[in-house]
Amino acid sequence: MSSLNVSDARTGTLPWALAGPRYLIGSWVWRALAYTLTTIMVGGVLMTVAFPVYAPLAASVVMIESRAVGDVIFLFLLGVVMVVCFGPLIAIPLGAVERRRLRIVLPGPDHSGHREPPAGLWGWFRTRYTEAATWREVAYAAVMLVLFVVTLTLVGFLFTTALTLAATPFILQSPEEAPLSMGPFQLYSSMDALPFALASPLFAIALLYACGLLSYGHGVVARSLLVGPPKEELYAELGQVTESRARLVNAFEYERRRIERDLHDGAQQRLVALSMDLGMARVDLDEDSPADRRVVAAQSKADELIDEIRELVRGIHPRVLTDRGLPSALAELADHCPVPVTVNADLPRRQPPHVEGTAYFVVAEALTNAYKHTEANAVTVHADLREGPRGDVLRVEITDYGPGGADPSRGSGLTGMADRVAVMGGTMDLSSPVGGPTRIRVELPCTTEQPQTQR
Amino acid sequence: MPTVLAEDGVLLREGLVGVLERFGFPVVAAVGDGEELIAAVDEHRPGLVVTDIRMPPDFTDEGLRAAVRLRRAHPGLAVVALSQYVELSYATELLDSGDGEGVGYLLKQRVGDVREFASVLRKVVEGATFVDPEVVRQLLRRSADPLQRLTAREREVLEHMAEGHSNGAIARKLVVSDAAVGKHVGNILAKLDLPPDDGVHRRVQAVLAFLRAQAG
């Protein structure tokens, strides 16, 4: 932001008006007056309504010298309990009112820092009583009480003074009112009162400036305690984080496919060719001769290597997934699982590669868990596509009929799965009661955005 | 038997040419994609086509689609398709072409055993149906309903049938009498609801029934 913009932003604010020569004839003075008057009104209501809440605390402070220590401590603790229990109930609506009132003197973003509570009364209470925004509002309520008293005193003094001074010449027109004492001065006539009456506008001006300064100070305090960080900024930041996260996921997915491609088209093809060459060598050798046995051994090593690479690729991003999609890949995965797996995958169309990759990874991990960590004797894998409000949602459900009791914190790959799903903007539910079955349900949004990839 | 080979990997193509020539399948054309394959077959009229399933330009099932087209255009043309992985729908599409005779579906890694590979080619050229043992194994694992009705021995026999073995060969492999194998085959056909008057293709039909049930 350039310095020009900064000064632009400051023009037309209350402090700018207060410092300028035209405060008293502009609109800001009216705003300051309005804010001050409403401060006194809201403060009055607050002081009355909140009395039961702050009374014990106030009493404990007042009685700190006159009463027994035990009583004071009791009152103090009672006060704290009252404030903690009922403070938010008053402070939250107060906060809402004050954020609106804040617009009079400090226009700008004025949303609360409150979170969206879950449905139900209990959810509301749990959210509100545990978030910082609520307790900042409670603090504000206390500040508000003090500011109310200060405002009322100062404004009240300046107002009555200005009024009284202005009124003295008129009062002294009836002689029976004389002499009027004005501090050290004794006034006997309207003429005597004239200099005082002339001072009245000064007090009026002081009153208006006091309103401005108090309003501004109050507003700054209110903003710092009541207004959360601008939502647009948060959303923008969140958007950036989400985007970069999606880019990362896509980059990883792309890398996985590249590794698979390199292994497949490079190493594996060469190994198959090597195995074939060795096979050809055998054709020219006497069967069971020492040379033949060596070639057989070499060939079986090459074949093992082929299988190993195949297994490796299966754990990353198998070719069948790229070529034929999720149902075929899941079927092949199931075929290589030592536990009998029933796959029920009915998908009318292909999903974006990163969605297929993640779903495949989740099922692969779940099957590995099922046979490594449980004695599951049967696993079912179910995949379907549902229409969600924002496009298709791929739902994958893996149920193993093992002993259950899976605990993500014991690092059985469940956290890794949840992370990878979360990055995609998906959700993962785990249900694993002791006694089984263990069910993992994953929902992945099929967003079409993906980076430019090449074969 | 003049042969056309389609394989996009240069290294593997050269190796395969060597193997084919060595076992009496002179390669009249070795090409790298499905379109070239069709052109080469139209030009050379070979007796056998060995093709990779996954080839340029899209690297999906170009070879398979070319093979199915060729089978339709040239009845009696023997086709052996090589696949990177077990994909039942590939096997089904291929075996469904023509009457299922003279086709083979083989995993690529199988070509290392050149003698076995050559013998599969010979069987297919003679009109047999050959399905990779791994495919059959997975089929039998995946199959739910029809398989439940087969005994362990009958599954074993079906596996061998799918690999293109005759009753006599199966009997030797399982070390039982020909009659016993005949009985098993009869039971399999009955359990798979294949009518007894269906003639010579019933063995192929038995395998196809499985493939369709599983892949479809």
As for the ipTM of the complex, it is 0.74
The distance from CA A312 to its chain's CA centroid, rounded to whole angstroms, is 39
Q: How far apart are alpha carbons A137 and A396 in whole angstroms? A: 44
Average pLDDT score, chain B: 82
Report which listed range, A252-266, B14-28, B141-155, is most confident.
Answer: B14-28
* Interchain proximity A283–B22, CB inside 8 Å: yes
**Residues of A in Cβ contact (< 8 Å) with B87:** 320, 323-324, 328
Task: Report the pLDDT value the prediction gives residue A280, as an integer from 0 to 100.
Answer: 92
Secondary structure tally for chain A: helices H, strands E: 15, 7
Does the domain at residues A320-445 carry the CATH identifier 3.30.565.10?
A: yes
Which alpha helices (DSSP H) does chain B contain, by range? 10-22, 34-44, 62-73, 88-96, 114-125, 133-142, 145-148, 152-162, 167-174, 178-191, 202-215
What lies within 8 Å, CB to CB, of A291 at 6+ separation is A285
What are all long-range contacts of A202-207, with beta carbons under 8 Å and residues at least 24 apart?
A203/A158, A203/A161, A203/A162, A203/A165, A204/A158, A204/A162, A205/A24, A206/A158, A206/A162, A207/A155, A207/A158, A207/A159, A207/A162
Residue B36 has pLDDT above 90, yes or no: yes
> What's the distance, Cα to Cα, between the start and end of chain A in Å?
44
Strand partners, A181: A186
CA distance B76 to chain A (A): 28
Q: Tell me what pLDDT residue A167 has.
A: 85
C-alpha distance across the termini of chain B, in Å: 34
SS3 content of chain A, % helix, strand, coil (to 5): 70, 10, 20
CA torsion sign for A136, A140, A141, A143 is positive
pLDDT band at B205 (very low <50, low <70, confident <90, very high): low
The answer to whether B158 and B150 have CB atoms below 8 angstroms apart is yes
**A312-348 pLDDT per residue, tens:** 887 778 888 888 889 989 988 888 888 888 889 888 8
Residues in chain B with CB shorter than 8 Å from the CB of A332 are: 85-86, 138
Task: For residues A375 and B112, give the distance between their C-alpha atoms in angstroms, rounded to a whole number.
Answer: 37
The DSSP annotation for A83-118 comes to: HHHHHHHHHHHHHHHHHHHHHHHS-S-----PPPPP
Contact flag A324-B87 (C-beta cutoff 8 Å): yes
* Cα-only R_g, chain A: 39
Q: Is B61 on the interface with A (CB under 8 A)?
A: yes
What is the rounded CA–CA span in Å between residue A413 and residue A417?
6
The answer on pLDDT for B149 being more than 60 is yes
Q: How confident is the model at residue B216 (pLDDT cuts 50, 70, 90)?
A: very low
Query: Does residue B144 carry a pLDDT above 80?
Result: no
Query: Which residues lie closer than 8 Å to B24 by C-beta, 6 or more apart?
Result: B1
Query: Which residues from A are below 8 Å from B112, CB to CB?
Result: 272, 275-276, 278-279, 299, 302-303, 306
**Candidate from A270, A279, A334 with C-beta closest to B113:** A279
**Spatial separation of the C-alpha atoms in residues A55 and A57, rounded to whole Å:** 5
Other CB atoms within 10 A of residue A350 CB: 12
DSSP state of B33: S
Give one word for B166, left, alpha or beta, with left for phi > 0 and alpha for psi -120 to 50.
Answer: beta
Residues A62, A64, A66, A68: what is their CA dihedral angle, to the nearest 10 degrees?
A: 140
User: What dihedral angle (degrees, nearest 10) is formed by the CA atoms of A89, A93, A95, A96?
Assistant: 150
Handedness of CA A225, A231, A236, A240 (dihedral sign): positive
- Residue B19: is its pLDDT beyond 80? yes
* Burial (Cβ within 10 Å: 0-12, 13-18, ≥19) of residue A96: middle
pTM exceeding the 0.80 threshold for the entire prediction:
no
Kindly report the nearest CA distance between residue A384 and chain B, in angstroms: 17
How many Cβ atoms are within 10 Å of A137's Cβ, its own excluded? Answer: 28
Tell whether B56 lies on the interface with A, counting CB pairs under 8 A: no
**How far is the C-alpha of A374 from the C-alpha of B185, rounded, in Å?**
39
Interface membership of A273 toward B (CB under 8 Å): yes
What's the rounded Cα separation, in Å, for the pair B159 and B135?
A: 10
H or E element, residue B200: none
Best residue in A323, A336, A337, A341 to probe B by mutation, most B CBs within 10 Å? A323
> Which residues on adjacent β-strands are paired with residue A388?
A391
Residues of B with CB below 8 A from A270's CB? Answer: 11
For residue B61, list chain A residues with Cβ-Cβ distance below 8 A. Answer: 323
Q: Tokens in use for B123? A: 């069987």
**pLDDT < 50 stretches in chain A:** 1-9, 450-455
Total CB pairs under 8 A between chain A and B = 85
Residues B110-117 have a mean pLDDT of 90
- How confident is residue B189, by pLDDT bands cut at 50, 70 and 90? confident
Task: Tell me the backbone φ, ψ of residue A286, rounded to 5 degrees.
Answer: -70, 135
b/e string for A144-183 if b means 16 or more Cβ within 10 A? bbebbeebbebbeebeebbebbbebbeebeeeeebebeee
A273 and B60 in contact by Cβ < 8 A?
A: no
Q: What angle do CA B20, B22, B25 make, to 5 degrees?
A: 40
What are residue B131's phi and psi, to 5 degrees?
-120, 135
Residue A450's pLDDT is what? 43
Q: What is the β-pairing status of strands A180-182 and A185-187?
A: antiparallel
Nearest chain B residue (CA) to A266: B9
Report strand pairing: A341-346 vs A185-187. unpaired
Q: Which residue of A lies nearest to B111 if distances are taken between CA atoms?
A: A276
In A347-453, beta strands by DSSP E: 379-388, 391-400, 427-431, 438-445
Whether B166 has its CB under 8 Å from any CB of chain A: the answer is: no
Q: How many Å is the maximal CA-CA distance in chain B?
A: 51
What was the pLDDT predicted at A2? 38
Residue B141: per-residue pLDDT = 65
Is the Cβ pair B86, A335 closer than 8 Å?
A: yes
Cα angle A157-A160-A166, degrees, rounded to a multiple of 5:
135
SS3 A135: helix
Return the structure tokens found at A400: 């193993």
Residue B50, pLDDT above cutoff 90: yes
Q: Which of A324, A359, A325, A352 is nearest to A254 (CA)?
A: A352
- Nearest Cβ partner of B112 from A299, A320, A334? A299
Q: Is there a contact between B53 and B61 (Cβ–Cβ < 8 Å)?
A: yes
CA-nearest residue to A264 within chain B is B84
State the best of B84, B117, B121, B211 to mutate against chain A, taking most chain A CBs within 10 Å: B84
In which band, very low, low, confident or very high, does the pLDDT at B30 lie, cut at 50, 70 and 90? very high
Name the pLDDT band for B200 (thresholds 50, 70, 90). Answer: very low
SS3 B195: coil
CB A350 within 8 A of CB A413: no
Query: B52 in the Ramachandran plot: left (φ > 0), alpha (ψ -120 to 50) or beta?
Result: beta
- Residue in chain A closest to B90 (alpha carbons) equals A324
Work out the minimum CA distance from A275 to partner chain B, whole angstroms.
5
Please give the backbone phi and psi of residue A117, each rounded to the nearest 5 degrees, phi first. Answer: -80, 155
Alpha helices in A227-325 (DSSP H): 231-261, 269-283, 290-316, 319-324
